[in-house]
Every structure is written in structure tokens, then in C-alpha cells.
Amino acid sequence: MTGIFEHTIDAKGRLFIPSKLREELGAKFHIAIGSNRDENGEPCKYLVLYPDAAWRQLEEKINALPSGQASLADVLFAFASPCEPDSQSRILVPQPLREYAGLKRDVVITGSSNKAKIWDRESWEKRSKPQLDAGKVADMFDLLGL
């Protein structure tokens, strides 16, 4: 999945999913917590939209782990939720997930290979600006051997 889409979450917690992403996500998909670290090692919180096939692959990977390591994923499964867009192409983002990712009104949905990520707009802007540095882009291409 690719692209950047700016949208708003309404007062009921509903978020419009763009048609391009709906096609790639499929009729049913999952929403879950996500996190990685920024260049300073600080955690960045967001939500992840997984197509059903990618969700099943994630489950298989976690189920293959030794139980002590697999238990780290308990929180992932506890807060995950299946999604089906309504007739207006919106999904309900559960309140605990909105709180986790700090989602207020303005959000950005970004494509991220086989999934999509939902960011609070301010968080996305903080995250994306340093990544657009030409040196960092060159480092990424070098890492990928391109």
C-alpha cells in the first residue's frame, strides 16, 4: 500500500477509508496498535490496518514463537479489532485505540507496504519531516542496495 491520505475522525470515532486503500485492504480487515522508534529512540505510536491475509500471517508468526515471547503480543491481540467499512466507507476506531495513538480529529493514513498506518496529524508531521532529509533517503536506498 502506498500514499498519504488526510482525513478527520468524527465525534463518534468514525474514520473514512479512501477507496484506494479499501481495495487493497479488502472487505474485512483488522485494526491494531503499532509502534516503532524515531531517530532519537523515542517511541512513535500509531494504529495499523492489516488486510486479512497479512493479519493471518502475523498471527502465524506470533503463534510460532516460544510462549514466553508470544506473550508479548497479548496486548496486540487484546486491543485489535476486526473492521468492515459501513455504507459510507467509514470504520469505527475504538476509543482505546484512539487514546493509545493520540488520535484527535485530524489524522493521516499512510500506506506501508502490506498494511496502512493511521497517525495523529501532528505525530505524522514530526515523524515524516526528518525522514525526508536527502541524506536519510540516500541511507535507506543504500541499506536496500538500490
Look up residue 77 and give its amino acid.
F
Q: Which domains does the chain have, with CATH numbers?
A: 4-121 (3.40.1550.20)
Geometric angle at alpha carbon 82, from 81 and 87, rounded to 5°? 125
Look up residue 75 and give its amino acid.
V
The whole-number pLDDT of residue 130 equals 57
The whole-number pLDDT of residue 68 equals 78
The whole-number pLDDT of residue 133 equals 66
The whole-number pLDDT of residue 72 equals 73
The whole-number pLDDT of residue 124 equals 87
Which uninterrupted H or E stretch holds 65? none
CA-CA distances (angstroms) from residue 55 to 59, 127, 138, 146?
A: 6, 25, 31, 29
Residues 6+ apart with CB under 8 A from 85: 17, 22, 91
The whole-number pLDDT of residue 63 equals 85
**pLDDT tens-place values along the chain, 146 residues long:** 888 999 999 999 999 999 999 999 999 999 999 988 777 777 789 999 999 999 999 999 888 888 877 777 888 889 999 999 999 999 999 999 999 999 999 999 999 888 999 999 998 888 776 566 677 677 777 877 87
The whole-number pLDDT of residue 127 equals 76
Q: Give per-residue pLDDT as tens, 78-119.
A: 999 999 999 999 999 999 999 999 999 999 999 988 899 999
What count of residues does the chain have?
Answer: 146
The whole-number pLDDT of residue 88 equals 94
